[in-house]
Amino acid sequence: MTVYESAEARERNPADTERFDKSWEALKAAGIEIGRVMCASADDITEAEAMDIVSQRGLSALPISIYQGVSISVGEYPSDQDLADFLDAPDGTLSVNKQGPPAMGNDIMPACACGSGNPNKR
């Protein structure tokens, strides 16, 4: 997973930023790495789907979370439930435990996809 963020995005929703920072630290301590890219411009974005979103909506779309080439959150950090389900986090690592099987790596959609076949649909 890679999260593209900016200083402006971090300031826009400090509670979400603080929650994600804590979750990121907890996952890192559990040996689960999440890439974080601080973006000053669209040139800092390397993933196609994130580039498409930013080209349409601008940097105000950040943060954008990409998992296996697909966006799982736009305009906010991924929820602890998404992190637990997509990253197969061990129970007790985050504020919630995983509810579904590991996502996408084995072609099984996470519980949050609600059978839509589209992980972006909420």
- In order of their start, the domains of the chain are 2-113 (3.40.30.10)
The secondary structure of 31-81, three-state, reads CCCCEEEECCCHHHCCCHHHHHHHHHHCHHHCCEEEECCEEEEECCCCCHH
| 62 has a pLDDT exceeding 70 | yes
State the pLDDT at residue 119: 47
Q: What is the pLDDT of residue 70?
A: 93
Peptide bond into 119 cis (omega under 30): no
**Is residue 114 scored above 80 in pLDDT?**
no
Q: What angle do CA 30, 69, 35 make, to 5 degrees?
A: 35
- What confidence tier does 84 reach under pLDDT thresholds 50, 70, 90? very high
Taking a C-beta distance cutoff of 8 angstroms, is the pair 2, 37 a contact?
Answer: yes
